[in-house]
Amino acid sequence: MKLFGTLYDKTLQWAGHRHAERYLAGLSFAESSFFPVPPDVMLAPMVLAKRHLAWRFALITTIMSVLGGLLGYVIGNGAFEVIEPILIERGYWDSFQKATDWFGEWGIWVILLAGFTPIPFKVFTIAAGVVGMAIVPFVLMSIIGRGARFFLVAGLMFWGGEKMERMLRKSIESVGWALVALALIAYFLIKH
């Protein structure tokens, strides 16, 4: 089934849109607090489309992701009883419980590592609010962790350039399905 090639082409179209930076900012903000799609899916093609703006795109993604994370923190800290049923209904409850357990084990380092886990970042931002993580370390670790991830993605696309684009286009279906498989494996490992 060819699914990811079509999505990739559509994302490249969005990346070239005159409001692409706004879309990237909105997606980055939303993903850190309530939306399920990671901003990497837009960041990578935007960098490929306009390599000279790679670091700007990574910075926008980082800043807006951290601001969205602050919203997730506020939700967890002040409105958890409202979203608790949503976490359960949408299948995030086990991930949320795992994230709160990790805070107990590793403290502030969880937010730094959260930028690279297959668990959506919003689960960690909400959990940080619920456990009452100090706000300054939360923001600092979010900046470092999210920044490292997004600048890494931008750097790979920047330095890979056309060769990376050709390679990605050629193997997009395999990469897409491999990521789905990894996400499912991570979900089952975390759940059990």
Domain borders along the chain are 4-191
What per-residue confidence (pLDDT) applies to 95?
82
pLDDT tens, per residue, the chain with 192 residues: 566 677 667 767 777 788 989 989 998 999 888 776 778 878 888 898 888 999 999 999 999 999 999 999 999 999 888 888 988 888 888 888 888 888 888 888 989 888 777 677 888 898 899 999 999 999 999 999 999 999 998 999 899 877 877 777 677 677 667 766 766 676 666 555
What per-residue confidence (pLDDT) applies to 179?
63
Name residues whose C-beta falls within 8 Å of residue 69's C-beta, 6 or more positions apart in sequence. 32, 33, 121, 122, 125, 138, 142, 146
What per-residue confidence (pLDDT) applies to 146?
93
Of 179, 136, 145, 134, which is closest to residue 65 (Cα–Cα)?
Answer: 145
For the chain, the distance separating the N- and C-terminal CA atoms, rounded to the nearest angstrom, is 30
Q: Residue 64 is which amino acid?
A: M
Which residue shows structure tokens 């297959």?
118
What per-residue confidence (pLDDT) applies to 136?
96
What pTM does this model have?
Answer: 0.79
